[in-house]
Amino acid sequence: VNVQQLRYIRETARRGFNLTEAADALHTSQSGISKQIRLLEFELGVEVFVRKGKRILGLTRAGEGAVEVIERALLEIDNLKRHAADYSVADGGRLIVSTTHNQARYTLPSVIEAFAREFPTVQVELRQVTAQQAAQSVLRGDSDVAIATTALAEAPGLVSFDCFSWRHVVVAPDGHPLTRTRAPSLAAIAAYPIITYSPEFTGRSQIDAAFAGAGLTLDVRLTAMDADVIKTYVARGLGVGIVAETAIEDGDYVKKLDGSDTLFAPSRTKVALQRGALLRSHAYRFIELFAPHLRASLVRRASLGPVGAKPLTEEERTLLSQTPDFTALYRQAAAQKHAAA
Amino acid sequence: VNVQQLRYIRETARRGFNLTEAADALHTSQSGISKQIRLLEFELGVEVFVRKGKRILGLTRAGEGAVEVIERALLEIDNLKRHAADYSVADGGRLIVSTTHNQARYTLPSVIEAFAREFPTVQVELRQVTAQQAAQSVLRGDSDVAIATTALAEAPGLVSFDCFSWRHVVVAPDGHPLTRTRAPSLAAIAAYPIITYSPEFTGRSQIDAAFAGAGLTLDVRLTAMDADVIKTYVARGLGVGIVAETAIEDGDYVKKLDGSDTLFAPSRTKVALQRGALLRSHAYRFIELFAPHLRASLVRRASLGPVGAKPLTEEERTLLSQTPDFTALYRQAAAQKHAAA
DNA sequence: ATAACTTACGGTAGACGTAAGCATC
DNA sequence: GATGCTTACGTCTACCGTAAGTTAT
């Protein structure tokens, strides 16, 4: 058994059982892959792939289990490399974060900045993708950390932690009638044209549910993928906006309506790691900077699982599973900034 | 990175950082080991071992973590081989069980017999060792299953399950005065010379505690490592014996005193597996034969851990954590035997 | 002085790639 | 006929073992 053979099998399984494709992906010849796979099959005494003549169709029953074990073995070898890189003076480091627009644009910039100050030599790579893509990317080991609000909890190969909860708020242009009322009702808002997220996006369902629960129908004029677009059209007077409170900034040309943050159900922003993956220590620090209650040492142990490390105590688990409120977190950060100045 | 290098490092760490010894154990040259280790260290960019001139003294800080990861990586590769062997027609199979005298002599024979009937081609290897040695052996991957009453729960690298609970009972030669009393008291027993286990053995502390709790001092005449020896001397009239109830057999020349099984605190016989190890399916079946409530599929999932597999439900965990009584288990087995005949 | 690791060096197995062969689609 | 896996074959890397060199105990 050697490591290359395991890589060949994993890649072949991932690429839909096409040796040619796997060979391209691994920058080698398909002939070599074919041979090495057969050699390993011979050594194991088991066929991993179902072949029909000279075509590979899928995995045998033995192969299915084998691929699972192979994935874990290769994961441990990656863990070894990352662990070593963490101690290596030569390697300054890299951190790949896959996340959605909402996080990349609003909640992460200050974190990235603080991280860059703390680790000047680490190259941070931020990839803006969909929540599903972020999850897949971490699951395949292509990125270290995924941050998103949905779709991160499902996959069994992921470990996810709640970072903070937030709500949708209503924004209107300066001088809009709604800005003069205190704590507008859902009905008062529904009287205006609405601009908000696309139906398939970031908790749009929670917005719809709130209005439906009050027996109201919405006049949704414009839907967008992100709050920047929404705010732009709201500023031009095309309607009233409903966006994540995380998207409210100081320089906005639109005004958040006071009390509008209690109208909708909260969402939770989560961070997800590959289960069993050992990341470089700065990756855990990055998470800690983003959500201070996610202590590096605890996240590390929780995501590695019980093999080798001692399991978390009850106390430590409650520490990790608390979900602070975004506004509270933000106020704290602002206060610290103020104290520093 | 290749698998040999990982093996070399693991073996060197295990053998007290002696390359020569590691080379002997792996049937290769120490020069090769030296070179391969240095190559891997170069590739990782980290020194794994602390060297002083030309002597290896121990692990660096990076090395400690590296060895842990390497152990897991090699474990997964072993898992791959065992998984494959499970499907291979060529390999009939082997099962290595490390256990103590008490189990090897009394509780296991019928299980081994049943197992051999079910898997005629599997070579069962039973190794009689101390509980500590059994734990170590499983921990190092030298044997598949450990069965013992003590010292199996401690190590973090082990997963252990309760098989059944049993108590110590009092035995006396036929015609002994105690055999005529119903439910003899501790005081009545302490009046005679006692023959029982060595102090460092199988729950001897529970026996001592029972008498100490009643304010009695024992006249221990003879201590032995196993019940066979104890029973032999009891039969010769040298004293009254205290042995595990599992050691009572039909053909015994000594008689178990009725009611003596409630005098001492119960012990639990456990089975232990290496955490994260994937065993061949017949190994799980073997455990199931020994303790029917330890269902093969559940034990498999519980010992593999959460990486890759779905975690156990609450219900499944209670199923595994129940501890049947030995006598109940035995009566059930006897009843089945009777029904079959 | 000896035990023990490293370096040097030669032989060989095996990994890799090109090219040809041969099954499916 | 095109795609895609396997087999054949030559090249070359890199692993292994012997032996000499060097450094602590």
- Residue to substitute from B75, B307, B310, interface A, most A β-carbons within 10 A: B307
Distance CA A260, CA B293 (A): 56
Condensed to tens digits (0 to 9), the pLDDT of residues A55-98 reads: 999 999 999 999 999 999 999 999 999 999 998 877 778 999 99
The pTM (predicted TM-score) of the whole model is 0.86
Res. A202 pLDDT band, cuts 50 70 90: low
Q: Do B69 and A79 touch (CB under 8 A)?
A: yes
Whole-number Å distance between alpha carbons of B138 and B274 = 6
The side-by-side arrangement of strands in the sheet containing A254-256 is: A220-224, A194-197, A240-244, A168-173, A254-256
Tokens describing residue A18? 């096409």
Average pLDDT of chain A, as a whole number: 88
Residues by CB within 7 A of strand D: list them: A 17-20, 30-31, 34-35, 37-38, 51, 54-56; B 2, 4, 27-29, 31-32, 35-36, 39, 52-55
Average pLDDT over residues A128-145: 91
Given strand B194-197, what is the order of strands in its sheet? B220-224, B194-197, B240-244, B168-173, B254-256
Gap from A78 CA to chain B (nearest CA, Å): 10
Distance CA A255, CA B334 (A): 81
- Binary contact (B70, A84; C-beta < 8 A): no
Q: How confident is the model at residue B259 (pLDDT cuts 50, 70, 90)?
A: confident
Give the tens place of pLDDT for each residue, B135-164.
999 999 999 999 999 877 778 889 999 999
Amino acid identity at A219:
D
Q: Chain C positions under 7 Å from a protein CB? A: 4-8, 15-25
Rounded to a whole number, what is the distance in Å from the CA of B12 to chain A's nearest CA?
A: 17
How, if at all, do strands B94-99 and B123-128 pair? parallel
More confidently predicted of A253 and B333: A253
Inform me whether the pLDDT recorded for B308 exceeds 60: no
Closest CA to B142 of B8, B334, B273: B273
Query: Which stretches of B167-274 are assigned E, i.e. beta strand?
Result: 168-173, 194-197, 220-224, 240-244, 254-256, 267-274
Tens of pLDDT, residues A210-235: 999 989 988 888 888 888 888 888 88
Instruction: Determine the Cα–Cα distance for residues A221 and A218; give it in Å rounded to an integer.
Output: 9
pLDDT band at A196 (very low <50, low <70, confident <90, very high): very high
Q: Which of B6, B41, B80, B297 best probes binding to A when mutated, by most A CB atoms within 10 angstroms?
A: B80
CA A205 to chain CA mean position, Å: 19
What percent of chain A is predicted at pLDDT more than 70? 98
Averaged confidence pLDDT in chain B: 88
Mean predicted confidence (pLDDT) in B63-73: 93
Q: Give strand pairing partners of A96.
A: A125
Residues 6+ apart with CB under 8 A from A251: none
Given this model, what pLDDT does residue A341 score?
66
- Categorize the per-residue pLDDT at B101 as very low, low, confident or very high, splitting at 50, 70 and 90: confident
- Which residues of B make CB contacts under 8 Å with A? 1-3, 6, 44-46, 60-62, 65-66, 68-73, 75-77, 79-81, 83-91, 156-157, 275-276, 278, 305-310
Under 8 Å between Cβ of A100 and A267: no
Residues at the strand C interface (Cβ < 7 Å): A 2, 4, 27-29, 31-32, 35-36, 39, 52-55; B 17-20, 30-31, 34-35, 37-38, 51, 54-56
Spatial strand order in the sheet of B123-128 = B123-128, B94-99, B145-148, B267-274, B158-166
The structure tokens listed for B128 are 């009689």
Q: Which of A7-21, A130-144, B320-334 has the lowest mean pLDDT?
A: B320-334
- At B270, the pLDDT band (50, 70, 90 cuts) reads very high
What pLDDT shows up at residue B277?
93
Which among A108, A77, A106, A105 has a CA at the least distance from the CA of A95? A108
| Half-sphere exposure for B124 (CA within 13 Å, toward CB) | 24
Chain B contact set for A1 (CB, 8 A): 3, 77, 80-81
Please write the tens of the pLDDT for every residue from A150-160.
Answer: 877 778 889 99
CB A64 within 8 A of CB B22: no
Cα B236 from chain centroid (whole Å): 32
Residues B9/B37, Cβ–Cβ less than 8 Å: yes
Q: Give per-residue pLDDT as tens, A242-300.
A: 999 999 888 888 889 888 888 898 999 999 999 999 999 999 999 999 999 999 999 99
